[in-house]
Amino acid sequence: MLLIFTVLTYFLLNVASYETLNRQAKSAFKELSVILNRKIDWSDELEKRALEYLQSPGSVKADVIIKGKKIFPKDDSSPLGVKTWNTFRDRFKKNEKKVRNLPEGSKYGCNLIFKTTPKNQILNGVCLYNKKK
């Protein structure tokens, strides 16, 4: 019985990561982007496309793509927003010029897949930016 409960919990945690972006993670992505460019707008459509990108990278195009992946110890109890910030902070610094130079009205959306394995927690995410057309 305990084994079934454990497997079910593991499955539900992994499925949940595919459906909606956690509010804390979304806030972290927005803060990182706004620090670099206050004139760009979040897009729910690009949030969905970012998840598609994570599942099949060749299927989605964007003007700027910032990817991040980080492995955390299994016992790391930091909130997902903190893990997102820690994963992407340096990647945003590296791509600062690209994000800063996006014109006003450009759109962006981010998403992630968070998995727990027997030894680790793995955060794999991406932000997609499209210039205003």
Record the pTM. 0.84
Residue with tokens 């910030």: 85
Q: Cα–Cα distance between 87 and 82 in angstroms, integer?
A: 8
pLDDT (tens, 9 = 90+) of the chain, 133 residues, equals 544 444 334 444 444 444 579 999 999 999 999 999 999 999 999 999 999 999 999 899 999 999 999 999 999 999 999 999 999 999 999 999 999 999 999 999 999 999 999 999 999 999 999 999 7
Please say whether the beta carbons of 62 and 116 come within 8 A: no
Query: With respect to CATH, is domain 2-130 assigned 3.40.33.10?
Result: yes
CB burial of residue 25 (10 Å; 0-12, 13-18, 19+): buried
Q: Cα–Cα distance between 3 and 66 in angstroms, integer?
A: 38
> H-helix or E-strand containing 116?
strand 107-116
